[in-house]
Structure 1
Amino acid sequence: MDHNASLSNSGGIGRRRLLTSGGLAAAGVVAGADPARAGRGRIPPDTRPGGAFDRYVAKLAADGRFSGVVLLAHRGRTVLSRSYGMADKAKGIRNHEGIAFNLSSASQPFLAVAVLQLLQQGRLTLSDPVGRHLRDLSGEIAEKVTIHHLLTSTSGLDAPMPDWQRVFHSRPEVHEYAEQWVRQATLVGVPGAASNGHRPGGGVGLAMAALIVEAVSGMTFWDYVHRRVFRRCGMTGSAFYTREQWLTDEHIAHPYMSQADGSLVDAVRNLDQGSVDPFTQGRNPGRGFIGHASGGGFATAPDLVRFAEALRDGTVLDRPYADLFAGAKLPGPDPTSFDGYTMPISISNGQWVIGRGGADGGVGANWSIYPDTGWVGVVLSNDDHLPIQDLLLRQEAAITGAPVSPPSGGGG
């Protein structure tokens, strides 16, 4: 199910690059740029405690506009870590670094890593037609759509919109729904065409890719990512948690959704209610029971730094395949943006930026890797009040020195 369907058509560099997809960069994820030219060892003052970014986030929190965690790390070491608000108001649990947040679509790159691991093992190729691994697809889809097309959202596939109101009750139910959704896919565009991937049901291609991971590996998608991605990266606080775990585990943040009267309600404890935020209208992430290929994984902020380090040092993918994961595949809507595997990629003030963002009712998440200079930025939020576009522009400016316009409201 496409957890970011309502965001995928939004235009503009801010929403598209910073929220819908964050930005993760190209081959420099391993090799990096020339240290002298890129200023690799420098710690910009705006990234430090008490610096401009820290002050901006503190102002948002003081104004009631941020609940969550921000973390800036350089070469794997924390430079700034701040936590605000409550992870679970009913139980009086505050947000902190060890709290796992729902990532929504920001967990999609874990699927791309899974596919590239299987490529590295020689068990598939990116040019494989999907029919080589999956049955019960129409001949047109089976023969014309490749794995590369699925990961770049250029498959030309469409499918009915997911049922955002349905409440799921088990992993098998979620899995069966994903399989049925894939079987409903139709080919409505030319595979490989750059403009055909962003449809309301376009996320069906990611569900199809997850089924290929299962067919090739012999594991469920969830088990594969847990064992081969999270565990390998040392991401001990990250998982595709179930709703039951969400309700009982004190280390998982509850999302607080905006309501028409201005109040916030706990999504997981109020499945009959949805967000009134315009980008996640009517949705409630707790209804899904467990996330899948299009999103809904959970991670802590330090775990996302560990993921970045595992990409850099060859732990999760060998160097050529890490370069392939992080490399630009298609031109984007402006000269400094590109499309990659499950994520957009950009250039900011002469630096590559790689990452992914996601949003759902009460959920705002973004992680960005700056491979040329060794920085990682993480923003994890659990309520709808965060002006995440402004915050991410401030983060990028603090790290790269890129100019930033004044925020569109609140926060100084």
Structure 2
Amino acid sequence: MGAGPAHAAPSRRGRVPKELRPGGEYDRYVAARAKADEFSGTVLLAHRGEPVLQRAYGMADKAGKVRNRTDTLFNLGSIGKCFTATAVLQLVQRRKVALHEKLGAYLDGFPAEVAKNVTVHQLLTHTSGVGRPPKMTGPPDPEERAWDTVEEVWEGTQKIIRGLPTQFTPGTRYQYSNDGFVVLGAIVAEVSGQNYYDYVREHVFAPAGMRRTDFYTRPEILAADDIAHSYATDRETGARFDFTTSEMAPFVGLPAGGSYSTTGELLKFVTALRQDGRLLDHATVELATSGKTVVPPEEGQDSLLSCSHYGYGFATHIFGGRRLYGHTGGGPGVGDTYNVYPDLDWVSVTLGNYDSSGTKPILQLERRLITGD
């Protein structure tokens, strides 16, 4: 178990609350969960753009005895949807894509009922009905496991999605859809003339100063000592295993998720979003991070979380009377979340290489301490 550097920064309303300082309640709680082997990863709290607390715990590679560090890269899971949405909205600002426009205006090969009815707005808000039905988080299907190039992953996934009808009448309900964001990535590629990965590297990661954030392939991950392996939990035995080295691990991530980054570089992404025109105009960021469709409450949801909505690639919530937005990322051995508290000028990032059950209690405490409830 290791700890990264930590230091205090001034608060907009005076000093940083003692509960959020190094050695405070939050710091002690995360350390206790890591000591009990319930959490492995990194955490960052920042106020007014400056880190208040940074810590790293657990192992990036247990077999290789490599510890997590504050600059370790982690699989972001669905946090990557924020990058895809940002790319789409950049094209909206340039009037190359319209939110009301139908899918068929940009891409060929979809059934008529999909091409003529599904809009970009619906894809961004998980109300399109496009793609495969949602399933419990798990490994890819056997066909997907055989793909071992970026091109095979991209083309194979597109082929599967384009052959499917909608699951429900577009616009009539919310249903989380990874495939919908894969389609959005295809729109980015088609309209920009670049492949999706290159577009996001050039127009999202680079302007934000995210120099190490990328879509690393499985061979690149296994060869690196600064990328955390994902340790999934076996549903039958409860034992953790290295998902990254298993045949079930995907070859590369997609527009729905699977890029890799650090807590510090995600803070850079948030900072760039909040600087007018660096990634998006201020008005477009407000549009993206405002609620568009209601997200049904989860079982066991915190009583202070009064409502949740999905915007354009960003989730937004009212917690303890305060608005916050961000996203979570989950999967086998992936437990991530980041939150922006715009009224309080706080940002939190938690990246874990255990399943998300280890991250949720940390998120709950963080929200209560930052909002003062």
User: In the alignment, which residue of structure 2 is the partner of 1:145?
Assistant: 118
**178, 181, 185: which is aligned to 2:157?**
178
- The answer as to whether partners of 1:65 and 1:385 remain within 8 angstroms in 2 is no
Distance (Å, rounded) in 1 between the aligned partners of 2:190 and 2:14: 44
Where structure 1 has 5 or more consecutive residues not aligned to the other structure, the ranges are: 1-37, 272-283, 403-412
Partner SS for 1:268:
helix
1:261, CA displacement in angstroms? 4.0
Q: Where does 1:8-407 land on structure 2 (aligned, <5 Å)?
A: 43-159=16-132, 163-165=140-142, 166-167=144-145, 168-193=147-172, 195-198=173-176, 202-259=177-234, 260-271=236-247, 284=248, 286=249, 288-314=250-276, 315-333=278-296, 335-384=306-355, 386-402=357-373
Tell me the CA shift for residue 155 of structure 1.
Answer: 0.8
TM-score, normalized by length of structure 1? Answer: 0.80
Asked which structure has the greater RCO (Cα within 8 Å, sep 6+), the reply is 1
CA distance in 1, matches of 2:271, 2:198: 22
Distance in 1 (CA, whole Å) between partners of 2:224 and 2:72 is 10
Segments of 4+ in structure 1 off by > 6 A?
Answer: none
Q: Which amino acid aligns with 2:149?
A: S
Q: d(CA) in 1 for partners of 2:57 and 2:312?
A: 32
Contact 2:34 2:57 in 1 (8 A): yes
Cα drift, residue 185 of structure 1: 2.5
Contact 1:74 1:374 in 2 (8 A): yes
Deviation at 1:338, TM superposition (A): 1.6
Measured in 2, the distance between the counterparts of 1:229 and 1:84 equals 29
Secondary structure of the structure 1 residue equivalent to 2:317: strand
The aligned amino acid for 1:308 is V
- TM-score w.r.t. length of structure 2: 0.88
Question: For each residue in 1:356-403, what CA deviation from the matched residue of structure 2 results, as whole angstroms up to 9, or x when unmatched?
Answer: 11211111111111111111111111123853221110111121122x
How many residue pairs align between the two structures? Answer: 347
Equivalent AA in structure 2 for residue 305 of structure 1 = L
Structure 2 unaligned blocks of 5 or more: 1-10, 298-305
Return closer, same or farther for 1:258/1:203 CA change in 2, 3 Å cut-off.
Answer: closer
Contact 1:105 1:295 in 2 (8 A): yes
Cα 1:204–1:40 change in 2 (3 A) is farther
Indicate the percent of aligned positions where both proteins have the same amino acid.
38
Give the CA deviation at 1:97. Answer: 1.4
In the aligned structure 2, how far is the partner of 1:351 from the partner of 1:386? 24
